[in-house]
Chains A and B, each alone.
Chain A
Amino acid sequence: MRGAERLAAIEVNQVIRFEHVTKRYPQHGNALSDLSFELKAGEMAFLTGHSGAGKSTLLRLIGLIERPTRGQVMVNGRNLRHLPTRKIPLHRREVGMIFQDHRLLADRTVFDNVALPLVAAGYRHKEIRRRVRAALDQVGLLGKERTFPVTLSGGEQQRVGIARAVVARPPLILADEPTGNLDPELSREIMGLFERLHRVGITLLIASHDLALIASLPYRTLTLTNGSLVGDTGTR
């Protein structure tokens, strides 16, 4: 997408735009088929669906971890199809990703894990310290800076992953089952954190099984079944 087109996309405030996206895995078949939707800047939306419906796959396409078999994915006004390989790191810095399996480094402290995106982006020491502490404070793990992930509970590890995703203050955050390992109280706390991010203008797309939790919150919900979009409550 050219600069002018990109500007146009920003004007209509589309942070994510899927156009007839299909993702096919050779051994498996279509994980996503002919998917089209948009997410506006500053929007907070849930992505739900049965296990194997394609939620993680959809998020991976946005983070450019994988490419669609057919169709276009636009993120922050950029057509990812035309994004050269050398620009992928810059794209990923604008997308904070929370992974279903945490993806933490076992041999690094909580602090170092959270600092990773800032270190990769070349931030200064002082700035890194300040931001990492702020992010850990947000997820309630300020006291665990010096510990290693293995000594943490599943929920705590999940929160370290969330701190890492928000630490560089990306305009878009993708969360894959961020409350999967949390008890109801902690889940609501994390949702509270996401809502705070939402209030300051961050765009969030949250994949979750937790239908009760989703139903209790007034946000748009996209529902996938076998890779097809079968429900969209629309922007609320």
Chain B
Amino acid sequence: MRAHRRSVHRRVRVHPFHLPATWLSYHLQVALGSLGRLLHNPWATGMTVAVIAIAIALPASLYALTRNLNLLSESWGQTTAISLFLTPDTDIEQARALAVELRAHRNLDQVTLISPDQALSELGGYDGFSEAITQLEENPLPVVLALQPTPEVRIPEALERLAKEVEALPQADFARLDTRWVRRFQAILNVTQRGVVLLGGALALAVLLVVGNTIRLEIENRRNEIEIMELVGATPAFIRRPFLYTGGWYGLFGGIGAWLLVTLALALIQGPVSRLAALYHTQFPLAGLEATASLTILGGSLGLGLLGSWVSVGRHLSAAQPH
């Protein structure tokens, strides 16, 4: 009580945050306060978080999909075999001899001989072909050697060179290196990736609106409290801070939710993809979200949450003006 007399003409202590530790613990306290408030209403909070998570998971999973298709097309590029078509007058025996010879080539892993009969029956398996094939009097197909290069020559230029080399053989008619369609596929993928970016932008805006609107409702619900805080001398920054943290939490939880959704989705389609790959005698383990993509999702979502609440607080919490 004695302190009162001295305090009469003295300004009330105004800047108590001299120590960084105090400042930090204060912010931690506000952040935890906002978190506690969110957890107090688990259903409402969960709903908002789910909306954010889904909105972010959409472009993120599309991104994961195109990334896997990209990896797939690269692996196709790598496993491309050279189809060496032999001249029509090379018979099967000569072809076998050539195959043995080529197997010794240091740049070739495997050499598979596809006889004209084999090729024809395979073609007959396709709809529409079988009828046409029965019309044929004799098999017009040449012997084909499917060449599987060693990993060292899987770069395009080396492949090209190898193809030229085998094409120069006397028994060879021509060699076909089928990489053009892979390039086309990649061009389509590039377009899709552009689409992912656009979709991401639109859904980022949706997240901003969701967070902004949620914060607006929160502000409306707490008008009375805000007014009282103002009356006892709280600064606008002090009043805004819990709302900003609330937005940050929404963003962070939404981001974590989105990451989990994408990871779960990839895990769920891994089974069917593996079975599909097995049909083609390959393996295709789906790539998950890489570290940078994961951090982008979390950081981006957190940023959107903060930005959404910042905009909302700016619009709906203008400092009360005495009138």
> What is A's interface to B at a CB cutoff of 8 Å?
10, 41-42, 63-67, 85-86, 88-94, 97, 99, 103-105, 116-117, 120-124, 164, 168-171, 196-197, 200-203
Contacts and interface: CB of A to CB of B under 8 A. Distances in A.
Given A124-B22, A171-B10, 10 more contacts: A66-B323, A89-B230, A90-B14, A97-B231, A116-B232, A120-B233, A120-B238, A122-B26, A170-B12, A201-B4
Contacts of A93: 12, 14, 232-233
Given A41-B9, A88-B322, A200-B2, A124 B16 contact: yes
A94 B228 CA distance: 15
Contacts of A90: 11-12, 14, 233
B8 A203 contact: yes
B319 interface: yes
Contacts of B8: 41-42, 171, 201-203
Contacts of A121: 12-14, 16, 233
Contacts of B10: 171
A117 B323 contact: no
B321 interface: yes
A164 B229 CA distance: 12
Contacts of B322: 64-67, 88
Contact of B5 (A10, A123, A200): A200
Nearest to A93: B233
Given A67-B322, A90-B14, A105-B224, A201 B233 contact: no
Contacts of A203: 8
B229 A120 contact: yes
Interface string B7-27: 111111111110000100010
Contact of B234 (A10, A89, A196): A89
B16 A164 contact: no
Contacts of B296: none
Given A67-B323, A121-B233, A122-B26, A196 B14 contact: no
Contacts of B14: 90, 93, 121
Contacts of B230: 89, 92
A16 B322 CA distance: 18
Contacts of B11: 90, 94
B1 interface: yes
Nearest to B15: A122
Interface in B46-72: none
Given A10-B9, A124-B16, A169 B229 contact: no
A192 B33 CA distance: 38
B12 A122 contact: no
B228 A103 contact: yes
B228 A92 contact: no
Contacts, number: 97
B233 A200 contact: no
Contacts of A117: 232-233
A103 B5 CA distance: 28
A65 B14 CA distance: 20
A37 B14 CA distance: 29
A168 B12 contact: yes
Interface string B171-185: 000000000000000
A178 to B, nearest CB: 16
A108 to B, nearest CB: 8
B4 A202 contact: yes
Nearest to B238: A120
Nearest to B1: A200
> Lowest 6 CB-CB distances: which A-B pairs, in order?
A93-B233, A120-B234, A200-B4, A92-B233, A201-B5, A122-B16
A89 B235 contact: yes
A170 to B, nearest CB: 7
A97 B8 CA distance: 16
Contacts of B13: 121, 123
B4 A169 contact: yes
B220 interface: no
Interface string B216-240: 0000000011001111111110100
Of listed B9, B15, B26, B323, residue having the most chain A CB within 10 A: B9
A122 B238 CA distance: 9
Contacts of A67: 322-323
B97 interface: no
A60 B98 CA distance: 104
A67 B323 CA distance: 5
6 contacts: A65-B322, A92-B230, A93-B232, A121-B12, A121-B14, A122-B16
Contacts of B1: 196, 200
Interface string B183-221: 000000000000000000000000000000000000000
A162 to B, nearest CB: 13
A123 B4 CA distance: 17
A124 B13 CA distance: 12
A65 B231 CA distance: 8
